[in-house]
A and B are shown apart, each in its own frame.
Chain A
Amino acid sequence: MRFWLLCCALLISVCGTAQAKKNPFRVDGSIGVSHDYYSLTGNGIDHLKNRRPEHVTRFQVYTRFSKGKISLPFEISFNTQSAGVTSSLDGYSSQFSSLSQLKTGDDMLRFVSNPVNRIGFTPVLGKFRFRLGTSTPYFSELVQGSISVFGAGVDYNGKRMFASVGYGISQAGFARDTLKGLAGAYRKEQLSFRLGIGRTDASFFALNALVGNDSPVKGLLPDSTVKPEQGIALSAQWRIQFGRYFFWESEAAASLYTDNTLGIPFKASDIGLPALPEELKLSTSSRADLAGNGAVGFELKGFRLAAKALYVGAGYKSLGYPFLQSDRMEFTISPRLNLLRGDLQVSGSFGQRVNNLSGTKAAPMEQLIVQSNVSIRFCDWFSFSGGYGNFGTRSGILNDSFRIEQVAQNFQVSPLFNFTGKKAVHTLLFSYNRDDFADLNVLSGKVGNNQSEIYLASWNRTSLSGIVNYGLAYNRFKFTSGFANLFNQSLSVNSSLRLFKKRLQLSTSVGRMANLANPNQTEDQQWVLNAGIDYRSRTGFGIGLRWTNNNYLYGSARPDSRFNENTLRVSSSWQF
């Protein structure tokens, strides 16, 4: 109930502001509410589980008040989902199943700082941009850029210099919950800083810093298996543009990271380093390492060449990129050639990745990635594209029976015809794709090898008036391997109709699939139906309804098994 009251209050306040014609500020943006309903029913489907929460309501507002150089964008996005959701990697969204559970100020703080929700206000006043609430500051590829934080920050973008400083919580602390199977979490705080000269879209030099620290929240202790971490990442980043045709950009970074600040303490003086501030809690889980990247690009009439390199030391870790894989070095070269005024384009990418720079692994792994694409436009109505890719992985001694060596190759051709008539455009597309995966291990290779072939043909008629459109597609693939085969055919029809000066759109698609894993069995049959209605008024108000039904009947591989899956989304939005 509180949720709906909050939605209404926000809706009214935004509408009221937007409709006040005498307001000197200009207001634009959008506001929307949607509700998703999901169900899965059937027989003999113990191997399946719900793919979505049964009920989720989402509320989103994006609005901007602006006048002259002042701009006040405001973003709010939050959702509720039914209790009992088996959620995510860290069980986050199960913290609060409804707003009614919010009883204290701390609860509210945890709710708004929960990554499930985004509540952000980013006013722009001249050269300053303030970040209040949830934001995702991006500094560089090695220090910060992937994690949203809830807090405050300010960016300055001058003609010759730029700067940022911010503080935020990337994860609210919560206690372990044995009933829900949640280990809990420490509160993760981040302090970030950036200072640079020049222009980021031309030449510049910048220093970036990120400090992250886990701290316990009173009364909300996580499980003892959860360890508090701490880390600092610093980097120098630059980009140099040489005339029109050449650029060089690079970043050199260092990090000091402690996996468990409660571990056996460790002093910097033990290894002959000067004493560090007491706030830095070094332990035997601390590590310090370097990372760097670089890219150069060269461009001359119709030809472009870019080369990239990345080095990440085994101990490098920035809390701004928690998923960054370490202990590796990568090189990539990407040439591109445009000929015949762009009608012929050839592009490619050649890359190599090696790991075990630290020597901590008994055998290094090498990966080779080759991709190439060619696109030719013969005339207005006919074009052709093709591509080849090769991914190779090798680890271990060449003649060792335990070595790992895998090669995946992919080849694709795709002609496209576009015929434009007086009333409609007809698009005909054909595509053939072949994929070969070879496991060269002498013991497991025969089982791991597999091949697949995919054929696709589609025709679509698109009316120039945009009133009625429809199309047909046929897809067929065959997958064979040492341990499983799969043969699939699908035929789908789709159409859309727009009425009432195109304000009302009806769309539907029906697909019928047949899946066969073993020729001695009967095939699985699947019907997928999509239907949608969308209406948008002259004033920007819109409502929509989308329904997807997935009806699956298993063949003799799972006798008497079937399921029916429904997803329904009802949405309403207003753009002003």
Chain B
Amino acid sequence: MKRFILSILLTLGIQALYGQLSVQVIVPPLPSRVSELFDQSDRIQLIVTNTSSSEQRFRASGKVGIDDAVIASILPSQSPVEIIGPGQVRTYNLNDLAVFQNSIDYQSPVVINILRSGYLPAGYLNWCFTLHQADNSSIILCQEQCRGARTTTYQAPVALFPDNGAVLPATGLSMFRWSPVTPVYPGALRYELSVFEIQPGQEPIQALRVNQPLWQNSVPSTQLNWPVEVPREPGQYVWIVRAFDNAGNLVGSGETSTEPRIFSIPSTQVANGVNQQTRVPELPFVQMQLKPKGSSQVVQTLILPSNNMEAIQELFNQCDQKNRFDIDLKAVPLVTQVNPDKAQPVLNGKGDLILVANANGPVLSFKNNASNSDWIGLNSGAMFIWRDSFAKSAKGGKSTSRDRVRRLVDACKGLQSFLVFN
């Protein structure tokens, strides 16, 4: 019986103490980015009301958790003593009551993940606080109050098409596609697509950073046609997409745009035996055969990806200007495998020169039969097959691929601007 009475008295006592202070927690919408959360942690407020008739001295304690995992604990001992007079209502910022940064449990697996990513995990971020008697923190002065909100970060758009190295037609429909911001964004979004022209001598990222966009459109959807008003001129381009919310803020965590994608548009001109009206995969290569004047023997065969119209034209000019060669030029079918017995490509020995047209444009590779180590793949440069007879007429015995390239350059000055080799 005594125990029963004691327990009732104790409960009443606690209730009486609980009744002395009340606390309300105000948590505004907070960012998921941890650094911003730290910066804005003072926006979390506690409104404390002293409902008793006497002055109260108290300390605060709290817990911050995501779903069931606790990521920070503010102990009463870490909180300064605050004094509130009878009947008073006071508002405290979180920073008045604790140094939030010191309360984080850095050993928690959730916190370790946060430190890796820089963002809070998706879930329900809950802030709970209570107040303790300043002299004896085991005495709780009010009921714990919690507030929280769902957190998530958003994936910036991902570029889908045209992919890196794609070749778009010079006319007709060319659709740009990207993935939407995920997960579903609570407000309206607009996607801004920017296309930059890569000027001669520029690198794609350089063009992206310093050029004026050739065109830029904003749409709510995740696809956009090349505008019909804008003629497509031959060249290389780079495109990105950025997502903006209604307030004009960039949306996306970690990164704010798609990764840049590079594509090209072939020339519409017909010149030097190469038709560029169509997309490269249909007509990927041009074969140029050089014969010394008055001779029927082919001393050199050049294979060029036909998407680089300027290279072909320039090569043709350079080879022909000294009038040393008769030049036969013809389009090469879609896939050509050079027979090593008939034409001996020598970069570093005997091997196969393989022409491939794939989704990324023309690719030309050389596979050395002995070491399998010599290869060149290119999308925009010139390439050559070296005929045995021509190699023999060159100086020296052993030669490296670079020497041979140099001699080719000598034979056909100006070519070096278009050769790509390691």
Contact = CB atoms under 8 A, between A and B. Distances in A.
Interface in B311-338: 313, 316-318, 320-323, 327-331, 333-337
A385 interface: yes
Contacts of B259: 323-325
A552 interface: yes
A98 interface: no
Nearest to A393: B179
Interface string B348-365: 000000101111000000
Interface stretch (A7-15, A102-110, A125-133, A350-358): A350-358
B35 A404 contact: no
B115 A287 contact: yes
A414 B268 contact: no
Contacts of B357: 375, 385
B269 interface: yes
B275 A458 contact: yes
B160 to A, nearest CB: 5
Given A479-B225, A540-B414, A425 B210 contact: no
7 contacts: A85-B212, A202-B371, A327-B253, A363-B183, A369-B160, A371-B359, A460-B277
Contact of B116 (A289, A341, A477, A511): A289
A90 B209 contact: yes
B260 A458 contact: no
B212 A53 contact: yes
Interface stretch (B74-82, B135-143, B195-203, B292-300): B195-203
A266 B39 CA distance: 13
A526 B171 contact: no
A122 interface: no
Given A147-B205, A323-B205, A355 B150 contact: no
Given A385-B281, A404-B184, A284 B199 contact: no
A458 B33 CA distance: 54
A575 B318 contact: yes
Contacts of A522: none
Nearest to A95: B210
B303 interface: no
B86 to A, nearest CB: 37
B34 A284 contact: yes
A375 B335 contact: yes
B116 A313 contact: yes
A446 interface: no
B210 to A, nearest CB: 4
B117 A416 contact: no
A82 B34 CA distance: 42
Interface string A172-198: 000000000000000000000000000
B228 A496 contact: no
B313 to A, nearest CB: 8
Interface string A354-393: 0110111111110101010101010010010101010101
A110 to B, nearest CB: 13
Interface stretch (A17-25, A212-220, A230-238, A484-492): A484-492
Interface stretch (B49-57, B119-127, B382-390, B391-399): B119-127
Q: Considering the complex of A and B, which 3 residue pairs feature the smallest CB-CB distances, nearest first?
A: A285-B35, A342-B337, A314-B117
Contact of A271 (B115, B154, B201, B413): B115
Given A60-B200, A454-B172, A526-B228, A93 B211 contact: yes
Contacts, number: 393
B277 A88 contact: no
Nearest to A502: B320
Contacts of B336: 342
A507 B271 contact: yes
Given A115-B206, A473-B277, A452 B175 contact: yes
User: Helix, strand, loop or mixed for chain B's interface?
Assistant: loop
A492 B171 contact: yes
Contacts of B230: 51, 550
B337 A287 contact: no
A39 interface: no
A159 interface: no
A97 interface: no
B345 interface: no
B61 interface: no
Contacts of A526: 228-229
Given A288-B116, A338-B337, A526-B228, A418 B331 contact: yes
B13 interface: no
A361 B209 contact: no
Q: Which of B32, B204, B209, B230 has the most CB atoms of chain A within a 10 A radius of its CB?
A: B209
Contact of B373 (A202, A326, A490, A528): A202
Given A270-B106, A548-B231, A315 B283 contact: no
**Highest count of chain A CB atoms <10 Å: which of B274, B356, B358, B375:** B358
Interface in A551-567: 552, 563, 567
A572 interface: no
Nearest to B161: A391
A116 B210 contact: yes
Given A115-B209, A462-B273, A315 B183 contact: no
A263 B184 contact: no
B177 A93 contact: no
B280 to A, nearest CB: 11
Interface in A329-346: 336, 338, 341-343, 345
Contacts of B210: 87-88, 92-93, 114-116
Question: Chain A: interface residue count, which band?
Answer: 35 or more
Interface in A50-67: 51-53, 58, 60, 62, 64
A461 B270 CA distance: 8
Interface stretch (B1-9, B16-24, B215-223): B215-223
Contacts of A283: 35
Given A64-B416, A437-B223, A475-B171, 14 more contacts: A89-B194, A201-B375, A243-B372, A263-B38, A284-B34, A325-B156, A326-B254, A359-B113, A361-B122, A406-B180, A431-B278, A462-B273, A490-B171, A505-B313
B91 interface: no
A427 B331 contact: yes
A272 B270 contact: no
A281 interface: no
A147 to B, nearest CB: 6
Contacts of B113: 358-359
A289 B113 CA distance: 9
Contact of A315 (B106, B118, B327): B118
Contacts of A266: 101
A391 B180 CA distance: 13
A363 B184 CA distance: 9
Contacts of A287: 115-118
B214 interface: yes
Interface in A464-518: 464, 466, 469-471, 473, 475-477, 479, 483, 486, 488, 490, 492, 494-496, 498, 501-503, 505, 507, 509, 511, 513, 515
Contact of B282 (A272, A362, A377, A431): A431
Contacts of B144: none
Given A358-B117, A526-B229, A375 B152 contact: no
A575 B413 contact: yes
A429 B278 contact: yes
A4 to B, nearest CB: 19
B245 interface: no
A358 B269 contact: no
A464 B120 contact: no
**Counting chain A CB atoms within 10 Å of each CB, which of B101, B221, B279 scores highest?**
B221
B335 A345 contact: yes
Contacts of A284: 34-35, 38-39, 101
B221 A448 contact: yes
A140 interface: no
B172 A490 contact: yes
A498 B107 CA distance: 76
A125 B320 CA distance: 33
A148 interface: yes
